[in-house]
Amino acid sequence: MKRDASVYLKPLDFKRGCIEMNHGAGGRVGAQLVAQLFAPAFDNEFLRQGNDGARLPVPPPGHRLVMATDAHVIAPLFFPGGDIGSLAVHGTVNDVAMLGATPLYLSASFILEEGLPLQQLQRIVASMAAASRACGVPVVTGDTKVVERGKGDGVFISTTGVGLLPAARDIGGANARAGDVLLLSGSIGEHGVAVLSQRESLQFDTEIRSDSAPLHTLVAALLAAVPEGAVHVLRDPTRGGLATTLNEIAAQSGVGLRLDEAAIPVQPQVAAACELLGLDPLYIANEGKLVAIVAPAAAEAALAALRAHPLGAGAARIGEVVADPQHFVQMHTTVGGQRIVDWLSGEPLPRIC
């Protein structure tokens, strides 16, 4: 982020002003946006270096680095339980954490649409900075570009995260083994339903809030409670929901999964909204839940550790890993039948009748 130039400029009008093309043109006005909005909000020692990139310390011996990136596009920008700013922090922190790594740093790229009210941008940046501080993961470098009106959806935020991974740790989607136990950290579908409830064409009254949350401390608590190597897979079931995540894992690990529908926690309001709209909570996005696939001997301790953490209070054992050459995710239904839980086909769209 560049420093301000020392010529008088009218202060940014956060009440009535909006993003204009020259905010992204690289001139004084752009520098002013950085100096008056981004730099103070995200302030940290790395950002204060004032360069186009951040100089970071070398990781301690016996560790590896992990890096994850995530682009955030969401309409509406603000939703019950969060906004695009906090989501951009949580999403990437969680991607790093799902490898069993400790997230250290974030970068942030903002693509702003001409006409975006500065008041909204200020709210988003404040929320993002607060989320970053709450996670203890600073935004150490960033960039801003402006696109013409109509070529963006208000604001897009792309974040990249760097984390530290002990050399011996191997957690990944290919590591599920037959006999492993499937744990879920809490109820599903809240983020997707909260966002859907705010869509212009579909507004409905609900108290459902997005579950958007950083999961790295929950992961740390889980890993501390079981022997190293007992946690085989960690994944956050975001876009495509639990069903998609489990199908990814089954395919990547070359196994089948068996779920128990009655054991999968769904808040009554989420279930009701899904019934009404003809949606299946299994395919609805989450932003603050994780799936852990653990060795059977460690399952009890892992579940207890999840439940002892505020973000895992609703954790449940939802199924197991089996050998299955077809890599099917199957579910024992509440009424006592069987079904496949398939990949999502197309977008999850409300049914007609």
Partner 1 sequence: MKYVDEFRDPALARRLADELRAAVDPARRYRLMEFCGGHTHALARHGVLDLLPPQVHMVHGPGCPVCVLPVGRIDMALQLALERGVTLCSYGDVLRVPASAGQSLQRAKAQGADIRMVYSPADALQIARANPSREVVFLAIGFETTTPPSALVIRQAAQQGLKNFSLLCNHVLTPAAMMHMLQAPPAAADDAPALDGFVGPAHVSVVIGSAPYEPFARRWHKPVVIAGFEPLDLMQAILMLVRQVDDGRAEVENQYTRAVTREGNRVAQALTAEVFELRDSFEWRGLGEVPHSALRIRPAYAAFDAERRFPLQYRAVPDHKQCECGAILRGAKSPSDCRLFATVCTPENPLGSCMVSSEGSCAAHFSYGRFRGTAVVAA
- State how far Cα 70 lies from the chain centre: 8
Cβ distance to partner 1 smaller for residue 57 or 336: 336
Structure-block tokens of residue 323: 């050998």
Residue 56 or 323 with smaller CB distance to partner 1: 323
Which string of DSSP letters, residue by residue, matches 30-51?
HHHHIIIIIHHHH--TTGGG-S
Pairing, β 82-83 against β 102-113? unpaired
Binding mask 84-123 for partner 1 (x = CB under 8 A): ----------------------------------------
Q: Does 75 bind partner 1 (CB under 8 A)?
A: no
CB closer to partner 1 out of 58 and 349? 349
Cβ nearer to partner 1, comparing 43 with 275? 275
- 155-166 vs 63-72, strand pairing mode: antiparallel
By CB under 8 A, what part of segment 28-57 binds partner 1? none
Kindly state the tokens that stand for 317.
């054992």
Nearer to partner 1, 93 or 321 (CB): 321
- What is 159-224 written as a DSSP string? EEEEEEEETT----TT---TT-EEEE-S--SHHHHHHHTTSGGG-------------HHHHHHHHH
Rule CB under 8 A: say whether 150 interacts with partner 1.
no
**Considering only CA atoms, which of 289, 305, 195, 275 is closest in space to residue 234?**
289
Task: Give the nearer residue to partner 1 in terms of CB position, either 88 or 316.
Answer: 316
Minimal distance, residue 202 CB to partner 1, in Å: 6
Q: Which residue has the tokens 């109820």?
A: 187
| Comparison of 7 and 353: residue with beta carbon closer to partner 1 | 353
Residue 336 lies near partner 1 (rule: CB under 8 A): yes
Binding to partner 1 (CB under 8 A) within 249-268 occurs at 256, 262, 268
Whole-angstrom CA distances from 24 to 27, 47, 72, 303 are 8, 19, 19, 48
Tell me if 6 contacts partner 1 by CB under 8 A. Answer: no
CB atoms within 10 A of CB 116: 22
> To the nearest whole angstrom, how small is the minimum distance from the Cβ of residue 268 to partner 1?
5
Task: Give φ, ψ of 51 to 5 degrees.
Answer: -105, 180
248 counts as binding partner 1 under rule CB under 8 A: no
353 in contact with partner 1 (CB under 8 A): yes
By CB under 8 A, name the one of 26, 27, 53, 179 that touches partner 1.
179
Distant-in-sequence, close-in-space partners of 268: CB < 8 Å, separation ≥ 6: none
Angle of CA points 276, 84, 124, to nearest 5°: 135
Binding mask 273-312 for partner 1 (x = CB under 8 A): --x----x--------------------------------
Choose which of 92, 94, 185, 330 interacts with partner 1 (CB under 8 A). 330
3-state SS assignment for residue 23? helix
Among 170, 248, 260, 324, binds partner 1 (CB under 8 A): 324
By CB under 8 A, residue 326 contacts partner 1: yes
When asked if residue 352 is in the footprint of partner 1 (CB under 8 A), the reply is: yes
Query: CB of residue 214 vs partner 1: minimum separation in angstroms?
Result: 30
Between 300 and 342, whose beta carbon lies closer to partner 1? 342
Locate 205 and state its tokens: 């009254």
Residue 201 in contact with partner 1, rule: CB under 8 A: yes
Both tokens of 352, joined, read 């007609």
Tell me which residues touch partner 1 (CB under 8 A): 178-179, 201-202, 256, 262, 268, 271-272, 275, 280, 320-326, 328, 330-340, 342, 345-347, 349-353
